[in-house]
């Protein structure tokens, strides 16, 4: 029976990881794309250049689909909190539930209130009001990210609470301490930059694809294609180095408040000064040793403490039952860092091409930019895995174990539920991504059509995919 319960718990954890992993892509895409749309519309109003309006109308169609899929995928997790993780919800709900309610009352209402104007109001309201609506939707996505990260960061570094001895519930004592817990500012900046960087490479890859197609056809890419590629590469060149600095600051914060997570990420078992950096290895939780280690002397202390003599923690300093699974986060962390460095190098390479006036004519660079399309999102997922798996075995770090947070789930029910989730998600979100790719496969035009037809009868002739209207009106109504 105990073995069946353990398997059911593992499936419940995997189900939540799967649904969150699918969901997190869409809000990140929405955050970056909403900000990009606000910049495009602002540039159009400031300069009067048609190319910015064309790009706005092109990318708003993609935004409507991404935003819709984000809403749908996010609803599922609320039900999981109330079913598979009802014990966690009961104990931590007085804090996490309130923070997520703030997200609904501020961000969700702001986005829902102005999304319809943003999508369909270009020809119905004044330019200034429409730009305000776009900005409100963009700000709404940032506010949503803020509240969600406040809740999740509190689970990582809990502060400002007391525990009711009768019920075991976490009760708020100081809301400012709860919201602005030690890891929150670092994670907010890191996540925001990750969203902007992910969208920059998605936009850049789209531009690169259309420039390669134009080159094969013996033509010159249109102005909208060149402009969006240029803007994306500027974003990559600026944000990628800043993101690496933000990640370094986040690492120092994690070392202070969650040292065992750092030890597991680095594959370090013994606490030592002048520690090496393990570029590669396979941490072995059973033998308490990292096999096949490839080390660079002193670099571990320098990166983690900014001192060659700094002391780096080892997992042996912590009880076995409080160590996260090192092999998982050892590799997820390295994939994230490798992709981050690669994105920075591509951004810097774009500056070299810009200086030599070859940004729009180098097929090799365009192929590289195209291949980098998913890099930001993969890095984001790896960062999420590192953060969340590195918190194990806790849901509320150091206070509430994951095994004590789950409802008494039944193995057969979890197996059926997990299978159904995978099948439905593949069909629904696979279809949504297919529609999105079809939209982006068509190059933006000079005189790009609006998302809202001038007359209802024009709906039959509009070039907007019907799914755009379906997804958008679902939340914008």
In tens, the pLDDT along 52-66 reads 999 999 999 999 888
- Of 355-364, 417-426, 452-461, least confident by mean pLDDT is 452-461
For the record, the structure tokens of 201 come out as 């490479």
- pLDDT band of residue 428 (cuts 50, 70, 90) is confident
pLDDT, residue 467, reads 38
pLDDT, residue 457, reads 40
Q: Is the pLDDT of residue 30 over 80?
A: yes
**Contact present, 30 and 141 (Cβ < 8 Å):** yes
Read off the pLDDT of each residue in 331-338 and give the average, rounded to a whole number.
Answer: 94
CA dist., res. 270 & res. 283, Å (int): 13
CA dist., res. 418 & res. 12, Å (int): 8
pLDDT, residue 455, reads 47
CA dist., res. 40 & res. 134, Å (int): 10
For the record, the structure tokens of 301 come out as 């202390």
Q: Is the pLDDT of residue 214 over 50?
A: yes
pLDDT, residue 451, reads 67
Residue 192: which of 144, 232, 229 has the closest Cα? 144
pLDDT, residue 369, reads 94
Q: Is the pLDDT of residue 460 over 70?
A: no
417 versus 2: which is more confidently predicted?
417
465 versus 145: which is more confidently predicted?
145
Burial tier of 150 (Cβ tally within 10 Å: 0-12, 13-18, 19+): buried
pLDDT, residue 132, reads 92
- pLDDT band of residue 475 (cuts 50, 70, 90) is very low
Residue 232: which of 209, 199, 258, 262 has the closest Cα? 199
Read off the pLDDT of each residue in 392-398 and give the average, rounded to a whole number.
Answer: 92
- pLDDT band of residue 465 (cuts 50, 70, 90) is very low
Q: Is the pLDDT of residue 322 over 80?
A: yes
- pLDDT band of residue 470 (cuts 50, 70, 90) is very low
Q: Is the pLDDT of residue 1 over 70?
A: no
**Contact present, 405 and 88 (Cβ < 8 Å):** yes
- Quote the mean pLDDT of the chain: 86
pLDDT, residue 105, reads 84
- Of 120-124, 188-192, 343-347, least confident by mean pLDDT is 120-124
For the record, the structure tokens of 26 come out as 């869409």
- Of 299-313, 392-406, 459-473, least confident by mean pLDDT is 459-473
pLDDT, residue 453, reads 52
Range picked from 277-291, 344-358, 434-448 for highest mean pLDDT: 344-358
CA 181-183-186 angle, to 5 degrees, is 125
- pLDDT band of residue 218 (cuts 50, 70, 90) is confident
Residue 295, strand partner residues: 278
């Amino acid at each position: 029976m105990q073995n069946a319960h353990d398997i059911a718990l593992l499936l419940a954890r995997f189900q939540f990881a799967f649904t969150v992993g699918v969901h997190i892509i869409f809000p990140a895409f929405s955050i970056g794309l909403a900000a990009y749309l606000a910049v495009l519309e602002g540039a159009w109003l400031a300069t009067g250049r048609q190319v910015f309006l064309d790009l706005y109308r092109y990318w708003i169609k993609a935004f409507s689909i991404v935003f819709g899929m984000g809403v749908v995928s996010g609803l599922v997790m609320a039900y999981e909190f109330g079913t598979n993780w009802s014990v966690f919800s009961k104990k931590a709900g007085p804090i996490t539930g309130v923070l997520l309610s703030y997200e609904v009352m501020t961000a969700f209402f702001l986005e829902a209130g102005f999304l319809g104007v943003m999508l369909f109001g270009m020809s119905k309201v004044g330019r200034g009001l429409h730009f305000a609506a776009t900005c409100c939707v963009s700000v709404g996505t940032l506010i949503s990210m803020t509240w969600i990260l406040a809740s999740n960061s509190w689970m990582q570094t809990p502060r400002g609470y007391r525990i009711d001895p009768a019920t075991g519930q976490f009760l708020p004592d100081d809301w400012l301490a709860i919201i602005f817990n030690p890891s929150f500012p670092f994670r907010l900046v890191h996540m925001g930059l990750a969203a902007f960087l992910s969208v920059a490479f998605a936009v850049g890859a789209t531009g690169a694809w259309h420039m390669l197609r134009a080159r094969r056809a013996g033509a010159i890419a249109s102005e909208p294609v060149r402009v969006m590629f240029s803007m994306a590469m500027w974003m990559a060149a600026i944000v990628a180095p800043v993101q690496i600095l933000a990640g370094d600051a986040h690492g120092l914060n994690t070392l202070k408040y969650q040292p065992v997570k750092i030890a597991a990420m680095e594959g370090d078992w013994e606490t030592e000064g002048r520690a090496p950096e393990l570029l590669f290895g396979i941490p072995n939780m059973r033998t308490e040793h990292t096999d096949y280690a490839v080390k660079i002397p002193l670099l571990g202390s320098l990166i983690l403490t900014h001192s060659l003599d700094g002391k780096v923690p080892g997992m042996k300093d912590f009880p076995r039952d409080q160590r996260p699974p090192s092999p998982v986060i050892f590799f997820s962390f390295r994939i994230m860092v490798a992709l981050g460095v690669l994105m920075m190098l591509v951004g810097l390479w774009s500056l070299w091409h810009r200086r030599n006036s070859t940004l729009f004519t180098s097929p090799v660079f365009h192929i590289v930019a195209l291949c980098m399309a998913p890099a930001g999102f993969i890095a984001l997922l790896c960062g999420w895995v590192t953060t969340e798996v590195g918190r194990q075995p806790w849901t509320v770090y150091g206070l509430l174990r994951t095994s004590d947070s789950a409802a008494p789930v039944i193995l057969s029910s979890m197996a059926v539920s997990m299978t159904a989730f995978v099948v439905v998600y593949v069909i629904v979100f696979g279809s949504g991504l297919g529609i999105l790719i079809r939209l982006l496969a068509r190059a933006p035009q000079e005189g790009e059509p609006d998302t809202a037809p001038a007359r209802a009868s024009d709906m039959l002739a509009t070039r907007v995919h019907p799914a755009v209207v379906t997804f958008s009106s679902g939340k914008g109504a």
